[in-house]
Every structure is written in structure tokens, then in C-alpha cells.
Chain A
Amino acid sequence: MRFLKSISKIPPTALLGMVVVFAYIFVAAFAHWVAPYGQFQIVGDQYSGWSDKFLLGTDNLGRDMFSRIVYGARNTVGVALLITFLSFSVGCTFGIVAAIRGGWVDAVLSWAVDILMSIPQLIFAMLLLTILGTSLPVLITVVALLDSTRVFRLARSVARNLVVLDFVEAVQLRGEGFWWIARHELLPNMVAPLTAEFGIRFCFVFLFIAALSFLGIGVQPPTADWGSMIRDNATLITFGDITPVIPGLAIACLTIAVNFIVDWILGKTGGSRV
């Protein structure tokens, strides 16, 4: 009963967002059951139309589009989630270190982050991926590090407001170490803004990975990925076929859903974003 009551308080947009996110998680987790064919499997002619056999037709190499979109949920969303987690661990750690230590540690870290943030992210990522190559571990590290600068900013500013409070000062005087303060005093008080930021960063990383894949330097073939699928099948668009934009639609639906949830969390905690 209590559960139902708390659900009825959630605005319909946020509920819709949650339903969509769960649907994506389900499809990603059970991709091998949902998809009728494998993601690398060549099953028919190139570019055949929609039919009973191939729900959304086949792609430029004769692989089943629908199956690849389903596997794309696992690959694209998986990579984006992994990057967001990594970016959060790095960004939060350094942000909290900067806030607790203060002084020159804070100054150096903030200066480095300011410099990194002043280079346009897409251009920087393209430069780094050209230099370091486009393997998946490199891609994940590069994007996570670039994105962690923004997490650093938020974590630092939230933590700085907490560090000056009496209960943190008391703990510091008691002689607790850095990790203890971060885990027991700061992080529990940072959950709400960080959760909302996680949603925002996830959307950003997700769109960013899709953009890099679209440009051919993100997730590499033959792995099914929504960004590169649009690029590979783009010629079909000039014939008026909407199939190639379906992966784009899949990206858009997930980001909108996450944004709905983020708006609700921000509204609840009194924060707002522009």
C-alpha cells in the first residue's frame, strides 16, 4: 500500500521515464533471447526490406537490423554506463580530495580541470583517439577522463559546502582519515545532487559515444552499435527509407526518459538546471 502511494506521487513523465529505462535494461540484459539472430550473423541479402523474416530488414552486409538494434542496446548502453561509472569514481575522488585538502592541491586540480574543460570535448576526443588508436579500452578511458572533469566540478563544489560544516570539522579534529571522512560524512550528504548528475552525465556520455561511433572513431565494427549503424546504413535514407534512423530514435528515447527522471529528482531536491 505504502509503495503504491509513493508511486502515485511521482509525476507521470518520471514514471514513463522509469518504465522506458527498465525496458531498455531488460532488452540489454536478455538481448540473446529477444534477438532472433546473432549480431554478427549474415542472414540474407544486403538492404532487404521489412518482412516477417527480418522485422526491420537487413543492413549493408545482410545482417538482421532488428537483432543488431537489440544487441546495440547491450553494447552502446553498456559502454556508456561503464564510462559514466568510471568518470564518477575519478571525478568524485578528486573533487572530494580537492575539497578536503584545499590549498595548493585544490588550486592545481582546479586549474588542470579548467584547462581540460576549455578544449572542446569532441575535438579533444578526436585528437586523443587519433594519437592513441580506437580500441575499446582506449575509448572508455579517454571519454571517462574527459567527462570526469565535469563531475569533478560538481563534486568539489558540493563537498566544499559540506567541509566547512561543524560536524565535518569535528570529525577532522577527532583525527579521522581522508577516506573515513569522505565515506561517512561527505558522500551520504552528496547522494541527491550526484544522482541527478549521474543521469545528466549518462545522457551526455551516451550521446557523445554515439557521435564518436557515427564519425567512425567510437565503438568499432563489427560490434553492433547505434551510432555506427546509422553511419553504415545512411545511404538508405536518400531512398526515403526510415530504417537507418531507428537506432537514432532508440538513442533519443533513452536520453529523454533519463532526462524526465533527472528533472523529477532535481525538482524534488529543490535543485534546478537550465
Chain B
Amino acid sequence: MNETKLSRGEGLGGALRLHPLLRMVLRRLGTGLMTLFVVSLIIFFGVSLLPGDFAQAMLGQGATPAAVASLRQHLGLNLPPSIRYVHWLGGMLQGDFGYSLAGTRISSILGERLFNTLFLAAYAAVISVPLAVLLGIIAALYRNSIVDRLINVVTLGAISFPEFFVAYILVLFFSVRLTLFPSLSQVSLGMPIWDRLYVCLLPALALTLVTMAHMMRMTRATIMDLLSTSYIETARLKGIAPWRIIVQHALPNALAPIINAIVINIAYMIVGVVLVEVVFVYPGLGQLLVDSVSKRDLPLVQAASMIFAAVFILLNLLADVLSIVTNPRLLHPR
């Protein structure tokens, strides 16, 4: 599949000499889809190898053999694994994830859970991305000063703390001691947006703290690299103010690595959200995954891990595509 994409991309590039960019993006998309395909194989066949009968587990030990057999027939469990895989994948592409252990349709639960998780991740991203870039620029601008060292030590600390530790510390201070925010983030569908934002602030802050460090360090390192180049020195000798040098001259060239770091961290956020959701008992996809793992509800585990993996892979793909598009130098790899 990779090969076909590659040759098609080259064919395209041959026909319209203008689009080496498009060719690279297509090639990257091809490998991304290929990865997604292999991951779905791993998730499906990994679970299928398990001993035990899903129909039996669904009905419980007291079920009659006839009932089990008819449920097996109904769920298509008698078909060979390869056909079941095709059904599973095809169903998923149409938004049908099959039935959970409790017999409910998985797709009816997933939608709201996924929305909640994406909402929380987006909320955290809105806080952390501008803050990280700003702090990174400040650290680069005043490098080796007290401010820089302080930011450096604090971010090193933030990487070293377990997510749930950060989350519990926030609960301890902001909800138990100061009683400003609730310690459980319970949300429902019809909730007004302001209530939702208020209730989700602590989990969003916890996510912000654990993901900010990497983005900030990346911003600082990239900007510092650029600040030592000669065109920045020229700008400085011309007497342009330091802030304008950074915003107008350094930042455009630093965009690719920074955007890359941001998107990778958002991908990480959507996955790292699992722990934070558990601490705040937030009804997201992560909480659902943890619950279904402890109940050994395999179809639900399959569906949730597939969605997490897909979001993660797609965001990483986006990070790569964005860094190709924003950096002309990447268009001509040696």
C-alpha cells in the first residue's frame, strides 16, 4: 500500500511538477492509513486469540446451550475470524461498534463519552498552548536569567510528577482547602457551557500542567537556536526591539517544530486524559476504557482503544503534515 501511494505520488509529481509538497503529504497519509490498518489488525486479532466464549460471557453461566448457540449465530461468532474482522472494521467505519458485554449498543455510549474527552482536551489545549509558547519565548529572551532557570526547574518538575499526583494536589488545594471548585467533574449533555467550563477547570488545569513542559522547552530551544543565527544578529544590530525580533523574524522560522510539539502534545493529552478522568470521575472515553478493562468487557475495550489509537495516529499525522507544510526546507530532503 505504501508502495502504491509512493508511485502514485511520484506520478502526480511527474505530471504536475509544481507539487512536491502534495507528493510528500500523500506519502505521509499513505503510511498513516497503513499504520491505522495494522493497528486495527493487532487490536482485533489480539482479542480474538483469547480463550473463552463471548456469547457465554454475555449471557452468564446459567444460560442454556441453545440460547448461547442462537446468540452466537446472531452475533456472527460462528464465522471465521477473517470475515468477522472485515465486518468489525466495516461496521466501525459506519459508526457501528457492535454490542458490549452488557448487551447495549456500543455506539450509543461512545458518542457522548468521546465528545466529553475531546471537550476536556480542547479546554486544556486552549489554556496550555498560548501559555507554553509565551513562557518559552520569555525563557529564550531572558536566557540564563533567574526567570529562565525558574521556568526550567518548574517544567522539569512538571514532567516528573505523575498525572494523578498533580490532579490530587489540585483537588486538595482548590476543592478541599479553598472549596472553590468541585472535586468531581460531573457533566451531562444539556449542561450550560459556563457550568461545564467551571466544573472542568481542575481536570483541564491538571492536563495543562503535565503537557506544558514539553511544548515550552521546544519553543525555548528552537527560538534560542534561531537567536544565534546571523540574520537575527543583523536585525539586532539594526536596533529592532527584542520582542519584535522574536515575533516578526524568529517565530515564523520556528513555527514548524513548535507546531509539531503542540500537536504531539494534544495527541498525548487525549491519551493522558485517562488518568485525569479517573481522578475526577469525569465521564469521558478514558474512564469508559478503564471501567471496561476492569469488567473485562472486551468489545468495549476494543472499540475504545481503537478510537484512542485512531485519534492519536491521526493527530501525529497532522503534526507531520503541518511541519511539512510550514517548513519549506523539509520539502527537499537530502
A244 CA to B168 CA in the complex, in Å? 9
Specify which of A122, A227, A245, A259 is in contact with B159 (CB 8 Å cutoff).
A259
Interchain residue pairs A-B with the least CB separation, the first 6:
A248-B165, A255-B160, A120-B271, A256-B160, A123-B308, A240-B176
Q: For residue B157, give the distance in angstroms from its CB to the closest CB of chain A.
A: 6
A274 touches B214 (CB 8 A): yes
> What's the tally of chain A residues with a CB closer than 8 Å to chain B?
43
Q: In the complex, what residue of chain B is closest to A207 when comparing beta carbons? A: B162
Q: Which residues of A have CB within 8 Å of B38? A: 115
Q: Is B232 close to A, CB under 8 A? A: no
Q: Is B298 close to A, CB under 8 A? A: yes
Please judge, given known A-B contacts A211-B164, A216-B294, A245-B169, whether A118 and B313 are in contact too, CB under 8 Å.
yes
Q: Which residues of B have CB within 8 Å of A230? A: 164-165, 168
B293 touches A118 (CB 8 A): no
A123 CA to B275 CA in the complex, in Å? 11
A130 touches B293 (CB 8 A): yes
Specify which of A130, A207, A256 is in contact with B157 (CB 8 Å cutoff).
A256
Specify which of B163, B169, B177 is in contact with A240 (CB 8 Å cutoff).
B177
A126 CA to B163 CA in the complex, in Å? 17
A238 touches B183 (CB 8 A): yes
Please judge, given known A-B contacts A215-B290, A252-B161, whether A259 and B156 are in contact too, CB under 8 Å.
yes
Q: Is A127 close to B, CB under 8 A? A: yes
Q: For residue B57, give the distance in angstroms from its CB to the closest CB of chain A.
A: 13
Interface residues of A in 256-270 (CB under 8 A from B): 256, 259-260, 263
A interface SS class: helix
A207 CA to B164 CA in the complex, in Å? 10
Specify which of B163, B177, B271, B296 is in contact with A123 (CB 8 Å cutoff).
B271
Interface residues of A in 206-250 (CB under 8 A from B): 207, 210-211, 214-217, 227, 230, 234, 237-240, 242, 244-245, 248-249
Q: Is A119 close to B, CB under 8 A? A: yes
Please judge, given known A-B contacts A237-B168, A242-B172, whether A131 and B290 are in contact too, CB under 8 Å.
no
A216 CA to B295 CA in the complex, in Å? 12
Among A115, A242, A251: residue with most chain B CB under 10 A: A115
Q: Which residues of B have CB within 8 Å of A239? A: 176
Please judge, given known A-B contacts A115-B39, A131-B50, A274-B214, whether A122 and B271 are in contact too, CB under 8 Å.
yes
B160 touches A118 (CB 8 A): no
A274 touches B160 (CB 8 A): no
Q: For residue B182, give the distance in angstroms from its CB to the closest CB of chain A.
A: 11
B164 touches A248 (CB 8 A): yes
Q: For residue A104, give the distance in angstroms from its CB to the closest CB of chain B.
A: 15
Q: Is A45 close to B, CB under 8 A? A: no
